[in-house]
Amino acid sequence: MADSTIDKPKIGIVGLGWIAQVFHLPILSKLQDVEIACVCDRDKNKARALADKYGIPRYYTSFEEMLKHEDLHAVDVCTSTDAHTEVSIACMETKRDVFVEKPIARTYAEALRIADSVKKNKRKLMVGMNHRFRPDTMMLRSFIENNEFGKIFYAKAGWLKKPSTESSWLMQGKLSGGGVFIDLGIVMLDLALWMTGYPEVSRVSATDYTHKTKVEDSSVAFITMKNGATITIEVSWNFHIENELYYCNIYGEQGSGKINPLMIHKEMHGNVVNVTPVKTDASQNAIKKSYENELKHFVGALRGIHPVISTAQEAVQRMKIVDAVYKSADKGKEIYFK
């Protein structure tokens, strides 16, 4: 089925929860160069209603039935995390490419199984790391790639939210694989690693806090790289703060940058100079824009225009660090990488 150039790939969407309804369906249905052939959800009424709303010809309640009956190039997996491994592997074994929402899986072991299937079946798989596709993060990364900051020695990233009453599958460790770290921490970890060019990890130290949930609702991790650089990540669903805080700051020997809003500073002739590009998209739609850019990228990859970014192989590396964060928090000690 995988042709190197497909004019208009046909895709199916599995899992019609919040992320599919707020981002994937509205964005994909507007793109000219892709066709949503079908949707699938265990809730028949939901599947039917969304197929009607977006003029999608067919809906299913079983992804196995969908794979058997549909002539698809790719599948967009928006299920809860516990189903990612099974659905993604089934798609690849029936020769479909896959977009899977973050995190790729609940554990490092599950991520490895998915990555092995990508290799074995020679498929394209992209993991939804939409924060790489925000206008401000893309701009900051281009400065780093041009070596504007010199050697990067420290990155800190965090996403701190106010308490909310939503109790969904995210709060159930069996389904999600953990708490706030696998939900928000993995996003900030990915951003910091991607920004700094994926340095190799030497050791990880982390502390988790559990207040009102069975899984951790706040988490702090300190990661030391083999090149001596360090990264700190702080995330919470439960900080008593006025406004949600979302940041990623990068510090180099000759300059620094941060996002939300974008600010770039460089050392020039002994002074620190603000070199932030004037036209930056500081608007609230950075998240929506990031999903648009990301899904367009996936469609472009299906059409053979460019390779996939945010691959299964990168996701495996991330999950190895996530597993170490949980192990460190659980055992109360630093975890060393071999």
Query: pLDDT tens for residues 46-89?
Result: 999 999 999 999 999 999 999 999 999 999 999 999 999 999 99
Task: Give ranges for CATH 3.30.360.10 in the chain.
Answer: 132-283+318-336
For the segment 275-290, the average pLDDT, to the nearest whole number, is 80
pLDDT over 50 at 2, yes or no = no
d(CA 162, CA 15): 27
Provide the pLDDT for residue 34.
Answer: 97
What is the residue type of 315?
Answer: A
Provide the pLDDT for residue 285.
Answer: 84
What is the residue type of 187?
Answer: V
Do 204 and 187 contact (CB within 8 A), yes or no?
no
Minimal CA–CA distance to 76: which of 298, 235, 292? 298
| Residues in Cβ contact with 320 at an 8 Å cutoff, skipping those fewer than 6 apart | 108, 201, 337
pTM, 2 dp: 0.94
| Residues in Cβ contact with 107 at an 8 Å cutoff, skipping those fewer than 6 apart | 177, 319, 323
Task: Give ranges for CATH 3.40.50.720 in the chain.
Answer: 10-131+292-310
The matching CATH number, chosen from 3.50.50.60, 3.30.450.70, 3.30.360.10, 3.40.50.2300, for 132-283+318-336 is 3.30.360.10
Q: What percent of the chain has pLDDT over 70?
A: 96
d(CA 34, CA 184): 29
d(CA 70, CA 310): 27
d(CA 309, CA 286): 19
Instruction: Taking each helix axis as running N to C, give the angle between helix 286-302 and helix 135-145, from 0 to 180 degrees, rounded to the nearest 10.
Output: 70
Do 90 and 68 contact (CB within 8 A), yes or no?
no
Q: How confident is the model at residue 280 (pLDDT cuts 50, 70, 90)?
A: low
d(CA 275, CA 265): 6
Tell me which architecture the domain covering 10-131+292-310 has in CATH.
Answer: 3-Layer(aba) Sandwich (3.40)
**Range with the lowest mean pLDDT among 28-32, 150-154, 276-280?**
276-280
Distance of CA 148 to the CA centre of its chain: 26
Q: How confident is the model at residue 168 (pLDDT cuts 50, 70, 90)?
A: confident
Per residue in 193-234, pLDDT (tens digit) is 999 999 999 999 999 999 878 899 999 999 999 999 999 999
